[in-house]
Amino acid sequence: MKTIYLFLSLTTILSYGQATDYSEKELAISKWIDGSLMVPNSGADKLAIIIGGSGPTDRDGNQNFLKTNNLKKLAQELALSGIATFRYDKRIVKQIKMKSVDPNIKFDDFISDAIAVVNFFKSKQEFKHLYIIGHSQGSLIGMLAAQEGVDGIISLAGAGQSIDAVIIEQVEKTAPMFTEDTKRAFDILKSGKKTTDYPPALASIFDSSVQEFMMSWMKYDPAEVIKSLEIPILLINGTKDLQVSSAEAELLHNASSQSKLKLIDNMNHVLFIIQGDDQENAKSYNDSNGKISEALVNSIVEFINT
């Protein structure tokens, strides 16, 4: 009985010790941007701003039916390595909570939010070095915000092509019968006009409610944006990413003389290691107990500390 009590006491002490390795506090950056600042208890002079992917993604990397806590886990791992982080809810998350979603939201709004975060921490001068970590759509947002002046940027599963080119490529692979319809619809959007000339099967891409957002997004070519950055860049992609192939990271790498490329075997889009098939891969998108890749964390820590 004493042995059991001793084990439970030791477990409690260890858990408590792990929990106090860093502190976390809420920060409001602007009307729409709320986030969490996580700082190692030993202090830190380096801060990484974490920007989430597409959709109503919260600061932890979650959406309604996609809960992995991957961005929170990344922040925790970085804190244990002496690096502070700030991660934030995308503005649409707060709008949904307030039941006041802006129907005219643009991709440029996400860029403005990221720039506001960068400038907030620059003005505070609490951290000597600022970095950006952008996941998926957050990669492009991060590259555009990095032009405000940061010490480096890490792109996780970021596309190397404009969003229209990415979608056309995906349609060619998964539903080739709609390829020409997709190209035609995007050509109309490129001209600055809306369209109803698309098959119902493509409604999730070309619904009238998202066309202006799509137009504001597709005007940015990540391979061109990355060329303008004169800061250290780390490009990371997983070989089991079902959404963004390693070829996208290679496009970015070829476009920038400042970049380093790291491909992680068996890592998927939500930053987990997948040993099995596509079914296991898909299930991991709602696995809150999944563990993010150690190679990913080690690569980021090495890059920031170099």
Mean pLDDT of 81-95: 96
Segments in 98-221 forming alpha helices (H): 107-124, 137-145, 163-174, 179-190, 203-206, 211-218
List pLDDT tens digits, range 32-43: 999 999 999 999
Residue 180 is assigned to a structural domain of this protein: no
pLDDT the model gives residue 19: 52
- Name the band, by pLDDT with cuts 50, 70 and 90, for residue 112: very high
Mean pLDDT of 209-230: 96
Residue 113 pLDDT > 50: yes
> For residue 258, with 0-12 CB atoms within 10 Å meaning exposed, 13-18 middle and 19 or more buried, which class applies?
middle
Residue 174 is assigned to a structural domain of this protein: no
Residue 190 is assigned to a structural domain of this protein: no
Q: How many CB atoms lie within 10 A of CB 88?
A: 29
Residue 197 is assigned to a structural domain of this protein: no
Residue 5 pLDDT > 90: no
Residue 84 pLDDT > 80: yes
Mean pLDDT check: name the lowest of 11-20, 134-143, 228-237, 244-253.
Answer: 11-20
Query: Could you tell me which of 249, 251, 252, 250 has the C-alpha nearest to residue 269?
Result: 249
- Please state the pTM of the whole predicted model: 0.91
Contacts of 129 (CB under 8 A, 6+ apart): 45, 46, 47, 151, 304
Mean pLDDT of 27-50: 96
d(CA 212, CA 215): 5
Task: State the average pLDDT for the chain.
Answer: 92
Residue 195 pLDDT > 60: yes
Residue 167 is assigned to a structural domain of this protein: no
Which CATH number characterizes residue 259's domain? 3.40.50.1820
In percent, the amount of the chain with pLDDT more than 70 equals: 93
Residue 18 pLDDT > 90: no
pLDDT the model gives residue 65: 85
List pLDDT tens digits, range 177-189: 999 999 999 999 9
Q: Please count the structural domains in the chain.
A: 1
- Name the band, by pLDDT with cuts 50, 70 and 90, for residue 70: very high
Backbone angles phi, psi at 36, to 5 degrees: -125, 125
Rg of the Cα atoms in the chain: 20
d(CA 200, CA 198): 7
List pLDDT tens digits, range 122-147: 999 999 999 999 999 999 999 999 99
Residue 46 is assigned to a structural domain of this protein: yes
Residue 215 is assigned to a structural domain of this protein: no
Domain residues for the domain of 86 are 2-162+220-305
Residue 207 is assigned to a structural domain of this protein: no
Residue 7 pLDDT > 50: no
Residue 10 pLDDT > 50: no
